[in-house]
């Protein structure tokens, strides 16, 4: 009876596929980071033997490539004729959300062999910029500047010594370490902007992104290639 029940559970399990393997790897990485992603751990997540994964993913390296490519399936992709500024704003916000939800992704996506989702994503971003009047040079600069900003902001969010919404508490805790006579500008910022005004670091994302978009728009209007 126990054997029949076990067979029934196996029979009810959806068939193994490359997509299911990658989805399981995402869950493993979300729970324990990239260091936990192995064929054995992913197989355990799926309730199968590790050897069965090799029918769908050639190796752990191939699995990491697929994992990196999966990230780009989650990020909004602009359409060629979308107004460029809103498209870049929405794409940047989407990328930030995805990378924040999967902290392991930031260190992975730029280090793996490009997959079809990554290539499609990048081509779509460049296509939107080109369709909106950006030269090849300027589209390249725009893509690079926006991604550098998004990735840098996400990295900062992941490493600041306080949780989201706890900026005031943190500022109050270090206020005594910043005497106004020695660090007048830092003390002023903590007192007026963080403690009194309810500063939240996450709110800085939109402000910084708008500065980049403003600069790109000025260059587009004046015809400056940015080189």
**Domain CATH number, residue 20:** 1.10.10.60
The dihedral built from the CA positions of residue 156, 158, 161 and 163, taken in this order, carries a sign that is positive
Contact 146, 88 (CB under 8 A): yes
- Dist. CA 119–CA 207, nearest whole Å: 29
Q: Residue 27: inside a domain, yes or no?
A: yes
Number of domains in the chain: 1
Q: What is the mean pLDDT of residues 49-68?
A: 96
pLDDT over 60 (residue 71): yes
Give the closest residue to 160 by CA, choosing from 205, 123, 116, 109. 205
Contact 67, 22 (CB under 8 A): yes
pLDDT over 50 (residue 6): no
- 53-62, 118-127, 195-204: least confidently modelled range: 195-204
Q: Residue 6: inside a domain, yes or no?
A: yes
What confidence tens digit (pLDDT) does each residue in 130-188 have?
A: 999 999 999 999 999 999 999 999 998 888 766 666 666 666 666 667 777 787 887 78
| R_g over Cα of the chain | 23
- How many CA atoms lie within 13 Å of 147's alpha carbon, on the beta-carbon side? 14
- Dist. CA 117–CA 74, nearest whole Å: 9
Q: Residue 9: inside a domain, yes or no?
A: yes
- Dist. CA 88–CA 141, nearest whole Å: 13
Q: Residue 2: inside a domain, yes or no?
A: yes
Q: Residue 153: inside a domain, yes or no?
A: no
Q: Residue 198: inside a domain, yes or no?
A: no
- How many CA atoms lie within 13 Å of 22's alpha carbon, on the beta-carbon side? 18
- 36-40, 131-135, 191-195: least confidently modelled range: 191-195
Give the per-residue pLDDT at 208.
95
54 versus 12: the higher-pLDDT residue is 54
- Dist. CA 90–CA 75, nearest whole Å: 10
pTM as predicted: 0.83
Give the closest residue to 154 by CA, choosing from 93, 214, 199. 93
Distances (CA, A) of 59 to 19, 34, 37, 40, 140: 15, 15, 12, 11, 33
Give the per-residue pLDDT at 7.
44
Domain span at residue 17 reads: 1-57
User: H helices within 102-135, ranges in order?
Assistant: 116-131
55 versus 203: the higher-pLDDT residue is 55
Q: Residue 217: inside a domain, yes or no?
A: no
- Dist. CA 56–CA 43, nearest whole Å: 12
Q: Residue 140: inside a domain, yes or no?
A: no
Crossing angle between the packed helical segments 18-32 and 39-46, to the nearest 10 degrees: 110
- How many CA atoms lie within 13 Å of 130's alpha carbon, on the beta-carbon side? 10
């Amino acid at each position: 009876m126990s054997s029949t029940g076990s067979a029934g559970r196996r029979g009810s399990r959806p068939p193994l596929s490359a997509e299911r393997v990658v989805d399981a790897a995402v869950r493993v990485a979300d729970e324990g980071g990239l260091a936990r992603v192995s064929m054995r751990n992913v197989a355990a997540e799926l309730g199968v033997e590790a050897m069965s994964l090799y029918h769908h993913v050639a190796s752990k390296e191939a699995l990491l490539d697929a994992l990196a490519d999966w990230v780009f399936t989650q990020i909004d992709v602009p359409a060629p004729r979308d107004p460029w500024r809103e498209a870049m704003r929405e794409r940047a916000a989407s990328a930030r959300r995805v990378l924040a939800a999967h902290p392991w992704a930031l260190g992975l996506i730029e280090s793996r062999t490009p997959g079809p989702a990554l290539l499609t994503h990048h081509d779509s971003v460049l296509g939107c910029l080109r369709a909106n009047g950006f030269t090849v040079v300027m589209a390249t600069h725009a893509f690079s500047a926006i991604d550098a900003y998004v990735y840098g902001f996400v990295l900062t969010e992941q490493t600041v010594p306080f949780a989201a919404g706890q900026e005031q508490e943190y500022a109050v805790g270090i206020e005594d370490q910043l005497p106004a006579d020695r660090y007048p500008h830092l003390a002023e910022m903590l007192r007026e902007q963080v403690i009194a005004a309810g500063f939240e670091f996450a709110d800085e994302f939109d402000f910084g992104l708008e500065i980049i978009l403003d600069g790109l728009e000025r260059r587009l209007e004046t015809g400056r290639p940015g080189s």
